[in-house]
């Protein structure tokens, strides 16, 4: 069940903060078992934070338009989307959306932004030309993650109760199919050719592979415990999954098998892959860091301190900048409105 609280009689989404508490427990257990330091002493490797942008409270995620000119950040309080001009690093608009935004995706043409909202059981559709919500689509109970197919014709939304994936026709803003996946589905990513959708699921603990032509689950790939976020490489050959216990599972898409495991610290969340496919970027709640994983060696090559309790991560289309959404969450702030969240802009060397 999702932990909830109330601020001014309005429910507040606590999905990531629930994972934070779980990550803390995992971190303590791992430290006791292995004696590892809480923060490894990785070099920054030339990566550095070039700007910190204040957004709304408890940002849950960030997504960029294909041109890289706008970043869209979902804020859990007060249920808004911050629109960032990436040329100036300033918030140029704030858009009210449905209650409890948990997932965000931008259409391939940049014309629409899709926001899945846990507490309203809806997905808001934003027209990026007007920065207005043009539709509210009921997708099921407690929606979490959202992804758009590469041609933009379909959107996929995970819903917790019951565990399903809703398929939306983006031309009509209607749900055309509901795929049963069971358990607790969180994030979703679509392959570059649009033939597969990958869904992280805490039960049974792994990734479900959906054939998008038939809308059926065709494989279950078991990863380490607490799978959170998922990303597909630009060529579609690899799938990267962050696990709460502190690992990243690397999956070969052709065989649906885990071929490597990168070891970091417990508390991993968001993941994305660079446009050239050479690096995977992972954020860690416990260490407040963005880790860079070489996709050639599957080893961490750099670790950069960003804001407090980072949750989401996205990379620009030219690969030179990475955007990290920081919740700036602290223990006890689940019962009150905490400090404003922020977006760290990290330059790639």
Residue 10: count other Cβ atoms within 10 Å of its Cβ. Answer: 13
What pLDDT, on the 0 to 100 scale, is given for residue 16? 44
Strand 300-305 relative to strand 289-294: parallel, antiparallel, unpaired?
A: antiparallel
What pLDDT, on the 0 to 100 scale, is given for residue 77? 82
DSSP conformation letters of 147-198 = EE-TTSSEEEEEEEETTEEEEEETTTTEEEEEEE--S-EEEEEE-TTSSEEE
Burial 236-274 (b: 16+ CB within 10 A, else e): bebbbbbbbbbbbbbbebeebebebebebbbbbbbbbbb
Q: Which two tokens stand for residue 73?
A: 């950040």
What pLDDT, on the 0 to 100 scale, is given for residue 337? 62
Prior bond to 11 cis, omega within 30? no
The radius of gyration computed from the CA coordinates of the chain, to the nearest angstrom, equals 18
Which residue stretches of the chain have pLDDT < 70? 1-42, 330-338
Q: CA-CA distance, 290 to 264, in Å (whole number)?
A: 11
Residue 344: count other Cβ atoms within 10 Å of its Cβ. Answer: 23
Q: CA-CA distance, 205 to 201, in Å (whole number)?
A: 6
What pLDDT, on the 0 to 100 scale, is given for residue 192? 98
Q: Which two tokens stand for residue 71?
A: 């970043």
What pLDDT, on the 0 to 100 scale, is given for residue 111? 98
Could you give all domains of the chain from N- to C-terminal order, each with its CATH number? 4-347 (2.130.10.10)
**Dihedral of the alpha carbons of 249, 103, 236, 262, in degrees to the nearest 10:** -20
What pLDDT, on the 0 to 100 scale, is given for residue 87? 98
What pLDDT, on the 0 to 100 scale, is given for residue 204? 72
Give residue for tokens 């507040």: 12
Q: CA-CA distance, 243 to 223, in Å (whole number)?
A: 8
What pLDDT, on the 0 to 100 scale, is given for residue 302? 96
Q: CA-CA distance, 269 to 250, in Å (whole number)?
A: 15
């Amino acid at each position: 069940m999702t932990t909830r609280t109330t601020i001014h009689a309005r429910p507040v989404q606590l999905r990531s903060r629930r994972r934070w508490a779980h990550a803390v427990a995992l971190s303590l257990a791992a430290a006791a078992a292995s004696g590892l330091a809480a923060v490894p002493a990785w070099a920054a490797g030339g990566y550095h934070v070039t700007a910190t942008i204040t957004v709304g409270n408890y940002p849950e995620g960030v997504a960029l338009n294909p041109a890289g000119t706008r970043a869209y950040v979902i804020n859990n309080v007060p249920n808004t989307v911050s629109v960032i001009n990436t040329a100036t690093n300033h918030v140029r608009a704030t858009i009210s959306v449905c209650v409890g935004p948990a997932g965000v995706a931008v259409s391939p043409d940049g014309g629409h932004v899709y926001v899945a909202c846990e507490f309203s059981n809806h997905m808001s559709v934003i027209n990026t030309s007007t920065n207005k919500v043009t539709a509210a689509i009921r997708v099921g109970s407690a929606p979490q993650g959202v992804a758009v197919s590469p041609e933009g014709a379909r959107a996929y939304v995970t819903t917790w109760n019951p565990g399903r994936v809703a398929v939306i026709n983006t031309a009509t803003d209607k749900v055309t199919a509901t795929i049963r996946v069971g358990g607790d589905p969180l994030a979703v990513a679509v392959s570059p050719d649009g033939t597969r959708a990958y869904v992280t699921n805490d039960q049974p603990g792994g990734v479900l592979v959906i054939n998008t032509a038939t809308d059926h689950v065709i494989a279950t790939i078991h990863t380490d415990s607490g799978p959170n976020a998922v990303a597909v490489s630009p060529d579609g050959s690899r799938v990267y999954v962050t696990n709460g216990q502190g690992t990243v599972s690397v999956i070969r898409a052709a065989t649906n098998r885990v071929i490597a495991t990168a070891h970091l610290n417990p508390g991993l969340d968001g993941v994305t892959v660079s446009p050239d496919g050479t690096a995977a970027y992972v954020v860690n709640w416990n260490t407040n860091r963005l880790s860079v994983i070489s996709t050639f060696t599957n080893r961490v090559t750099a670790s950069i301190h960003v804001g407090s309790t980072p949750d989401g991560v996205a990379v620009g289309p030219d690969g030179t900048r990475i955007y990290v959404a920081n919740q700036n969450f602290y223990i006890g702030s689940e019962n009150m409105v905490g400090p404003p969240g922020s977006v760290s802009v990290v330059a790639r060397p």
